[in-house]
Chain A
């Protein structure tokens, strides 16, 4: 039977495991990707902690994590409850809010740049003339991270709502009806019945959020490239810059290792939960 598993295992080991181990090794050498690597000890890590951009990127990852642990989760949980209480047309609504999730990130990024944020053609610029003052947030180092996060939230929250709704539908209807007969309003129902009812799914999604938040790359690379002035730089974009623009693979590997370390802690929790449930 082991022959059945062999091709899949070989591909995985060759493409993922071996290069991952090499990344770990590369963090301890000076290497431009072409020439002969030279042993560097912990020099790459030393340079990393001396680099203010690294700390900026790390704190942006933390901010990103906090945003995604709260904003889309709150939106999704409220929407899932709303769809549970107003089931008419639910399938259609579900598909529409899920739709952004299947669109390519590169396309979404450009659409938001042009149609939402652009000072010339965007919706925000239209609001400017009407009592709002919203300069292009992508051009502002203090706000660009939040602007990119808004795009990712648009892409992500509907998927989360669909996941939460699927979990809520496993709660017994009697329990929900009983709470409503007791006069529980929308938020009381959410707080005392629905949220406790989906807590395993809820916790799993929070853990996955932490894992993904430390890996975030695409939206930021596409929309702002980490700019302006490193305002939206995260560890993944920093590593990519080191490897492919600075030709400093050792430095990139060091950043990638640190980045993975954060995800690894969350992954350990995720694996414990998943293997207990026996997916």
Chain B
């Protein structure tokens, strides 16, 4: 019994340590976002003499963060719409059709989940450049759609497989055509899955870096992440406003995470846990 108790104590110590490690950089970010540059330089741990809300104002003003946040939101929103619109019917077909071609398609989507961006980035960029699609938010949302939809399709397929087939049969007996069955029977039951997909796809688009930094460089299309990246460097000195900008960019994601944790964790760990 003492052994069980000591392993419980050990577990608690480990948990405490983990919380400290996970929260330290975040706490330092919030703390120092509210300090003057002189205060940050003298010690990252010290409390601010007065809270420098001015950092947030100057980050917003000087970095034109507002516009770039809007670009991020547009990109993420468009991606969510396109992924849901294309992945949901595809997932339905994949779940209900058997046969070689369909099995191959499922296999292909699975393979394309692990495909490195580098394998298609370069021709895609120069192709886009030729077509005048660089610095276009919808064109980038299309890339994100291609990158995210295999994940979305496989997740939604699992949802469709959980729907009792009798429901669709009943609709078919009543003379419903496949697209009617899809819209009136299947789609409503996929809703929780679509919410999870929307969250993960939106999160990925909001945070994405490689594609955004390569394809969206003009002031009228740059996303918040790239704007932040361009403004700051390894040897930045003006940390106060910079950390304030970091807080602004990350805040919507964290708020959503707090509200919809279950969907975040379910979506991100989907396919990782094997029975």
Chain A residues within CB distance 8 Å of chain B: 1-2, 4-5, 7-9, 11-12, 14-20, 22-23, 26, 33-34, 78-79, 81-83, 85-86, 93-108, 110-116, 120-123, 126, 138, 154, 158-159, 161-163, 166-167, 170, 180, 183-186, 189, 200-201, 204-205, 208, 211, 214-215, 217-218, 221-224, 235-236, 239-240, 243-244, 249, 252-253, 256-257, 259-260, 263, 266-267, 270-271, 273-275, 277, 279
Contact = CB atoms under 8 A, between A and B. Distances in A.
Choose among A4, A23, A183 the residue with the greatest number of B CB atoms under 10 Å from its CB: A4
Contacts, number: 306
B44 A115 contact: yes
B243 A5 contact: no
A97 B18 contact: yes
Contacts of A208: 114, 272
B262 to A, nearest CB: 10
Contacts of B32: 114-115, 121
Contacts of B24: 123
A259 B21 CA distance: 33
**What secondary structure prevails in chain A residues at the interface with B?**
helix
B26 A126 contact: no
A106 B228 contact: yes
A8 B154 CA distance: 12
A223 B28 contact: no
A240 B11 contact: no
A4 B92 contact: yes
Given A11-B86, A16-B120, A114-B243, A97 B236 contact: no
A235 B83 CA distance: 30
A114 B236 contact: yes
B41 A204 contact: no
A97 B124 CA distance: 36
